[in-house]
Structure 1
Amino acid sequence: MVLNSRQPKFVAWGPDLAFLYNDAYVPVFPERHPDALGRPFREVWADIWEQFSPIVGSTLEGSSQLFKELLIPMRRDGRTEDTWFTFSYTPLRDEDGKVAGILCAALDVTDQVSAKRGEQRALEELRAKSEALAVVNRAGAAITAELSVERLTQIVVDAGVTLTGAEFGAFFYNVDDGEGGSYMLYALAGVDRKAFEKFPMPRNTKVFAPTFNGEGILRSDDILLDPRYGQNAPHAGMPKGHLPVRSYLAVPVKSRDGSVIGGLFFGHGQPGRFSEAAEASLVSLAGQSAVAIDNIRLFRAAEVEIDQRRDMEDQLRKLNEMLEVRVAAEIAERQQAEAALQQSQKMESIGKLTGGVAHDFNNLLQVISGNLQLLGKDVADSGRGKERISNALAAVERGSRLASQLLAFGRRQPLEPKVINIGRLVTGMDDMLRRALGEEIEVETMVSGGLWNTFADPIQIENALLNLAINSRDAMDGAGKLTIEVGNAFLDDSYSRIHPEVTAGQYVVLAVTDTGAGMTQEVMEQAFEPFFSTKPEGKGTGLGLSMVYGFVKQSGGHVKIYSEIGEGTTVKLYLTRSFRSEDRVTAADSVPAAGGTETILVAEDDEGVRATVVEMLSDLGYYVLKAKDAQSALTVIESGAHIDLLFTDVVMPGPLRSPELARMARERLPDIAVLYTSGYTENSIVHGGRLDPGLELLSKPYTREELARKIRHVLTLRTQRRQGASDAVVAPAKHPEITREKLKLLLVEDDAFIRLDTAEILQDLGYDVIEADSGERGVEIIGHTTIDIIVTDVGLPGMSGPAFAAKAREAFPSVGLVFATGNSSLPDANHLPGSVLLSKPFSSTALDRAVRSAVQQRPGA
């Protein structure tokens, strides 16, 4: 039956299952024929024995087997290929009924199976294309109606993930920054957005360039093997923590005009996951999204244009409606500002005039006062003579107060400002005010909590408050209520526009309110002018409010009057806020008006003043040398004469200025004390209306007692300073607190906040601190003030820190130097031995350590 059958058949018989087959079976394994005839089954089919061993075993046990379209790897033409067979195994029994062999009828169905599978694949591809088309259509329908680029790109990315089977998908918006490209992540799928936070946006590298440049589609079965990947710094491969992308597919999204809007990017953790069909679907999807994004742009541009046009129409309508009102308001505001400016200019002009008059007036008063005091000794036995001299001196005192008020109004008085809490100052004046105002005036003082500090002269604040209180008493005819309020205030830009002389910012306000008769508008406009008064003849000089005005303006503040007839008056003083801690105010020493035996050099250009002060000092026991100007005084100093104190007028004729004279005197006589005197100071030892730190000034006119006290005070300071310097050299480690108090430290820093904080720290540490905001200002200070330690920033505007330090060493060879800098090394300071580096930012401990080190490393220390 087997040999005659046209169907491929074989018989495997006997213990070894000898293999016998017909001619129809030969095409099944042409390479094994004819060697397979009679050989054992296991040897013939050794390559597939593992697959067929169970089937053979089951048949030999008596079970018939039928297999349809079984896949069998078959060796043909020297290679293994997949074949499919439908076959049956039938057990063959011998005469004893035992299974002795196997009968197989086989049919090679490889072609049928391949055809069927091809048809199935075609159907699956068709179905996939239909599904892809449906996805694209649905996405197209969704994005066509979408007006948000963010939502649109998310729809496209989600659809792309569905179409390609990707694990990750993203849309990056293309932004041309002119430096190789900058991109914005608009949509993401398959991963949280936080995964991109630690990675920069894609750069225009060899991998991303084809997409962002619109060159074409990039599809890679394994991006890690792509030669374009990992060739750009800073990464030479996959960055640590990056998404595990192997399969990579990117499609550009291009606008109608050919520009690249952005790119669609898809990835999968396994290689070879993206097909050409997926690529084709994405091209369609990218085209639809590009059109939709273009439409959104056009729609938004149209919306913006419509909104702008509508806004312009609304603004034009409102402008037309309010034009007259606004023009009127602008004109009124401008007129008010111009009036304020004119008033300010007028007050400035009057101030300069009165200041100049006061200068000459003080010199005259000094001559008169000095001679009257000297004359007093000659008529000590004449009662009538002493009385007349006393009356004359009283007149000089009134003249002196008048000149002081003129200087205050002209903003020419030398202020000695401190960081103070006005609340405490005002509270401390309560008893004095009550005594000055009388029992019929009720005084109420209110101080706000959290009050800021201010930087002003406390004595002038007391004078101003006393002047305002006395004015209020007179306005209330001796009976009424006076309210004093202290609080914080902020003057904004709108207030500054109306009052051009005012700088917007934070202020401490001192307000004095009375229940008096009030003022008319005309009176308020003239209230601050000198010698203007509504009081009867002989009842006032008209300088009280003008003095208050000048002091506040000189302190950088603002004054405002609020008043109505019959309702009373409020005067508000606005003083700028200080961010520093309050200065420690010490009570003035009650130095006796005694003389001495030291040598004093008097430099005074006014012959009358010079003669008078020389006689007064001689009368006090001092040995006196005199000079008519600074140059003559320098000649006396260079003569080698022993001089304990230089007493010099501030303003003298000649090329050599008094501060320069003082500096040169200290160079030649390091222990010399310096006392300035003047009836008018401007741009010499007073800057910004404030006496330079570390200087001593005796204002003209002065009495014999005031001169004696001031001379002894300055000489005592000289002795203390000399003793302190000695202590610092001998035992700095044992007495650090004494050393600090004796050392004068100059802080040079252009940053206001750093300067204020550092100065406060140094003051808290116990150092006597002088501040400067530039190297040039520092040079001015060392010209007239002895400095022990300098802490300077390196990068100052104008003159650098090292350049200033070099000048300081020329003036004071033993000065200690601390350079504050953000660099890790000292500046070029080879010519400045003993310099100490203080690295920014620094703590108070590091600052103190650096200053201590600079003290110990001073040349000659």
Structure 2
Amino acid sequence: MAHRIAAYDWRGTELGAREGWSGSLNANIQFLLGCPVPLVMLWGRDGVMVYNDAYAAFAGGRHPFLLGKPVEEGWPEVAAFNRHVVDTVLAGGTLSYKDKPLTLHRHGRPEEVWLDLHYSPVVDDDGVPAGVIAIVFEITERVLAERKRREAELERSKAEQALFVLNQHLEERVAQEVRARANAEDRLRQMQKLEAVGGLTGGVAHDFNNVLQVIASNLQLLSFAVGDDPRLQARIHASNAAVARGAKLAQQLLAFARRQPLSPTVANPRKMIDGMSELLRRAVPESIQLKLTVPRDIWNLFVDLTQLESALLNLVINSRDALRGNGVIGIEVANLTVQDGAQEPAIELPPGDYVRFSVVDAGTGMSEEVKARAFEPFFSTKPEGHGTGLGLSMVFGFVKQSQGQIDLQTAVGQGTTVSLYFPRTHKEEAPDAERPVLGNSADELTVLVVEDNPDVRLAAIDMFAQLGHRVLSAKDGEAALAVLQRVEGVDLLFTDVVMPGTVRSSELARIASHPPYKAKVIFASGYTRDEIFHEGRLDEGVVLLSKPYSIEDLARTVRKVFEV
């Protein structure tokens, strides 16, 4: 019954029974009615619609109002498209569309649909096209599913791209972290090596200075004994010069080991550079230009001025040698503020204010291998006899002992920049004071010499005796306490810093300088350790005479402590 209803035209006359219909047309109608796929026949020039149940389902709420109506009237929203189809096919053509998008009004609302459409002519018994057979396949679900799939693929591709970029960034960050860790480990190994060498160096310097002290003391006493004999005095003078060179070498070793006693003061870098500018200019030939750059608002710093001047002079001499007689050496001093852990290039500085000294040259530069060893003691690229290899190592030790940082930037053929960073101080520079004028000699004193090395102790006793003082001696702190308790009127305690035993030199000095003894105290040492200086600085009120010392040095120091 459904097929018969579908085959009624708009006049209610059964198509198969109409007069004048050809047998081929009736046959097409019978085929249309029995086909399981959506088929519609558009008859005549108007395209009157006759369709099967499958097409009725496709039409949705538009069925049965489409049946028997011209196609342009039945589907007005696509009238132009259908007119083109009817005209083309009735003229003998065929049409096919794949994935054809159309907007159709079905189920009471407009819908966007996608169709596969095939149009063929229906001929009458004479073989003339009299209508159009349309096969309609709706593929909307497939198209929407494909669209969702492509969108999902696009989203997945975007996610994969984002993941790829993230992985790239992560790999870069990991690589950066690995490089940073490797650099940190290299710096740590370098620092550990320098620390180990420094510890060994300090111990060697201590023993070396004791040996030099024995030699120097006996040479001076021998000089008094031989009188004015010019031949012997010349030999003594040559020996004293060798002792002086050895003492300078020991001082450089202690500077590298960060064991030289520093006497820091509040200083203005501009005044310091102005004061040593002539010395710096004399250190370089006229063919090398020395360019000094110091701002007027430079901050003060708390540092041992003598050691800082020596460090800058060392760096200028290194730059002079690297320039090989021609060029410019720049000394640049600047204020630097590090905030929130921000770093200077290639150096780590805690947040704070710093004063930076940079010595810059455009000389030969250093290779990476040479740079890695530049601060090692006795390492030098200079020819034999042209340097000890202690210049940079001494600068390194002094800066570190002053709670500063040092940075070396260099490359072969691109010159070298050495930068020293010192913490800023907010203290004001002390006004210049006149130095006290020392007297010619002190009165006869009772001196207690405390020294564990018997040769050094004997040399000190002879020196004090030569100066006209009464001398007592002890080999360690315990023996010295016994002498203090036994003998009244000890005026001066002259003690080595590093001694064996349970009584440390600092404790012995504290006891001797307080009631009931009230003795003055002079420390003598070639290696102070941490007995009388902390954080790289001599404790307040400490008087230190560094070994090896001359009899003149001893007399001057004795006069100084008794004039205070």
Please, what TM-score do these two structures have when normalized by structure 1?
0.45
Pick from 319, 336, 342 the counterpart of residue 489 of structure 1: 336
1:715 matches 2:559: no
Whole-angstrom CA distance in 2 between matches of 1:464 and 1:623: 41
SS at match of 2:449: strand
Provide the residue aligned with 1:519 in structure 2.
Answer: 366
Q: CA deviation at 1:588?
A: 4.7
- Deviations 1:538-596 (Å, cap 9, x if unpaired)? 01000001000000011111111122333322110011111222234546546467454
C-alpha distance in structure 2 between counterparts of 1:594 and 1:526, whole Å: 49
Match of 2:477? 630
Residues 352 and 593 (structure 1 numbering): CA distance in 2 closer, same or farther, change over 3 Å? farther
Distance 1:541 1:483 in 2: 24
Does residue 182 of structure 2 align to residue 335 of structure 1? yes
Q: Does 1:370 align with 2:223?
A: no
Q: Which residue in 2 is equivalent to 1:543? A: 390
Paired amino acid for 1:624 = V
Residue of 448, 461, 472 corresponding to 2:319:
472
Partners of 1:463 and 1:588 in 2: how far apart?
A: 22
**Which position in structure 1 is the counterpart of 2:261?**
414
Give the residue type in structure 2 aligned to 1:323.
L
Please tell me the root mean square deviation across aligned C-alpha atoms, in Å. 2.3
Q: Answer yes or no: is the 8 Å Cα contact 2:484–2:517 preserved in 1.
A: no
Cα distance, 1:314–1:426 mapped onto 2, change above 3 Å: farther
2:252 corresponds to which residue? 405
Residue in structure 1 matched with residue 511 of structure 2 by the alignment:
664
- Residues 361-409 of structure 1: CA deviation (Å, up to 9, x unaligned): 1111101110011011122232211111111110100000000000000
Task: Specify the alignment match of 1:360 in structure 2.
Answer: 207
The C-alpha deviation readout for 1:119-152, integer Å capped at 9, x for no partner, is xxxxxxxxxxxxxxxxxxxxxxxxxxxxxxxxxx
d(CA) in 2 for partners of 1:462 and 1:589? 24
Q: Within the alignment, does 1:706 sit opposite 2:550 as a pair?
A: no
CA distance in 1, matches of 2:300, 2:402: 14
Q: Distance in 2 between matches of 1:568 and 1:347?
A: 25
Q: Are residue 439 (structure 1) and residue 286 (structure 2) matched?
A: yes
Residue aligned with 1:336, SS: helix
Give the whole-Å Cα distance in 1 for the aligned partners of 2:519 and 2:167.
Answer: 75
Contact 2:287–2:327 (8 Å) recurs in 1: yes
SS at match of 1:562: strand
Q: 1:417 touches 1:690 (CA, 8 Å); kept in 2? A: yes
Question: Counterpart of 1:429 in 2: which secondary structure?
Answer: helix
d(CA) in 2 for partners of 1:594 and 1:480? Answer: 51
Supply the distance in 1 between the matched residues of 2:410 and 2:244 (Cα, whole angstroms): 34
In structure 1, distance between residues paired with 2:250 and 2:198: 12
Q: Counterpart of 1:535 in structure 2: which amino acid?
A: K
Q: In structure 2, how many angstroms separate the alpha carbons of the residues matched to 1:590 and 1:564?
A: 51
Task: State the match for 1:579 in structure 2.
Answer: 426
2:306 to 449, 455, 459: 459
Q: What is the distance in 2 between the residues matched to 1:590 and 1:469? A: 35
Query: What secondary structure is seen at the aligned counterpart in 2 of 1:361?
Result: helix
2:407: which partner in 1? 560
Per-residue CA deviation, residues 140-167 of structure 1 (Å, 9 max, x unaligned), is xxxxxxxxxxxxxxxxxxxxxxxxxxxx
Deviations 1:664-684 (A, max 9, x none): 123334542111111111221
CA distance in 1, matches of 2:361, 2:304: 25
2:64 is matched with none
Give the Cα separation in 1 of the matches to 2:168 and 2:468.
84
Cα pair distance change 1:576/1:313, threshold 3 Å: farther
* Structure-2 residue corresponding to 1:428: 275
Relative distance call for 1:419 and 1:318 in structure 2 (3 A) is farther
CA distance in 2, matches of 1:536, 1:487: 34
> Cα 1:593–1:654, aligned 2, differ >3 Å: closer, same or farther?
farther
Q: Give the equivalent residue in structure 2 for 1:731.
A: none
| Residue deviations 1:640-683 (CA, integer Å, cap 9, x gap) | 42121111111111111111112212333454211111111122
Q: What is the correspondence of 1:758-773 to structure 2 with a 5 Å cutoff?
A: none
Give the counterpart letter for 1:529 in structure 2.
E
Judge conservation of contact 1:596–1:620 (CA < 8 Å) in 2: no
Match in the other structure for 1:95: none
Matches within 5 A, 1:51-90: none
Report the Cα distance in structure 2 between the residues aligned to 1:347 and 1:585, rounded to whole angstroms. 38
1:380-391 → structure 2 map (5 Å cutoff): 380-391=227-238
431-440 or 411-420: bigger deviation: 431-440
- Amino acid of the residue matched to residue 194 of structure 2? M
What residue is the counterpart of 1:651 in the other structure? 498
**Cα–Cα, structure 1 residues 335 and 617, in superposed 2: closer, same or farther, change >3 Å?**
same
Shift of residue 338, structure 1, vs aligned partner: 1.0
Which SS does the other structure have where 1:437 is aligned?
A: coil
The reply to whether residue 601 of structure 1 matches residue 466 of structure 2 is no
SS of the aligned residue for 1:352 comes to helix
**Cα distance between partner residues in 1 of 2:374 and 2:502:** 42
Whole-angstrom distance in 2 between the partners of 1:431 and 1:498: 33
Matched, 1:506 2:353: yes
- Answer yes or no: is the 8 Å Cα contact 2:212–2:243 preserved in 1: yes
Unmatched 5+ stretches in structure 1: 1-311, 718-861
Secondary structure, aligned partner of 1:509: strand
Instruction: Give the whole-Å Cα distance in 1 for the aligned partners of 2:398 and 2:188.
Output: 19
Work out whether residues 484 and 490 of structure 2, in 8 Å CA contact, stay in contact via their aligned partners in 1.
Answer: yes
Opposite residue 397 of structure 2, the aligned amino acid is: G
* Unaligned ranges ≥5, structure 2: 1-158
**Mapped partners of 1:559, 1:355: distance in 2:** 21
Partner SS state of residue 493, structure 2: strand
- The 8 Å contact of residues 337 and 498 in structure 1, kept in 2 or not, is answered as no
Structure 1 distance, partners of 2:438, 2:285, is 33
SS at match of 1:668: coil
Counterpart Cα distance in 1 of 2:535 and 2:444:
37
Aligned mates of 2:163, 2:554 — CA distance in 1: 73
Shift of 1:323: 2.2
Q: In 1, Cα distance between the equivalents of 2:442 and 2:218? A: 18
Q: Does 1:686 align with 2:505?
A: no
TM-score (norm 2): 0.68
State the AA in 2 paired with 1:478.
G
In structure 1, C-alpha distance between the alignment counterparts of 2:462 and 2:296, rounded to whole Å? 54
Q: What letter matches 2:200 in structure 1?
A: L
